[in-house]
Amino acid sequence: MKKKNIYKVWLFLLVITPFVLWLLPADFFDEGKEICPSKVLLDIECFGCGITRAVMHFHHFEFDEALYYNLGVVWVYPFLIFLWLIWVKDALKKLNLWQKLTQIIKQRTEITS
C-alpha cells in the first residue's frame, strides 16, 4: 500500500472519530470490566483511572459527570484536541492538501474583507 493511501485512511479516521464518539451515548464506557493494572493488581486508583469515561462525558458537554470521573479531564481533553489538530494538519501536509486549504481560506477572507 502506498504511503499516500495510508495517510488518506489516517485522515479519514481522524475526521470521523469525533463524530462517532458523539453518536455513541455519553455513558458508553461507564460500565464494563476494570482494565487499569493498578486497580486490578493493587486495588489502588491511579491518576488515570476514569479518564476515558471523563473524556467521553466531557465530549458530550456533561461537565459534572466528567469531573466526577476524573478531574484531570480539564487538562486531558484540551490536550487531546490539540493533538488531534496537529495530526490532522500533518496528514493534510503529507497529502499536499494543507497548502491548498490555506490558499482557499486566504482567498475567502480576502473576498469578505
What is the CB-side half-sphere exposure of residue 104 using CA atoms within 13 A?
5
Q: What is the band of 2 on the pLDDT scale with cuts at 50, 70, 90?
A: confident
**Domain extent at residue 107:** 3-112
Dihedral angle sign, alpha carbons of residues 79, 85, 86, 88: positive
pLDDT per residue as tens digits for the range 82-99: 999 999 999 999 988 888
Domain count, the chain: 1
- Alpha-carbon distance of 88 to 57, in angstroms, equals 23
For all residues of the chain together, what is the average pLDDT? 90
Q: What percent of the chain has pLDDT over 70?
A: 97
pLDDT above 90 (res 66): yes
- Alpha-carbon distance of 67 to 51, in angstroms, equals 9
R_g of the chain computed on alpha carbons = 19
pLDDT per residue as tens digits for the range 20-55: 999 999 999 888 877 888 888 888 888 888 899 999
Angle subtended by helix axes 3-23 and 73-94, to nearest 10: 150
Q: What is the band of 102 on the pLDDT scale with cuts at 50, 70, 90?
A: confident
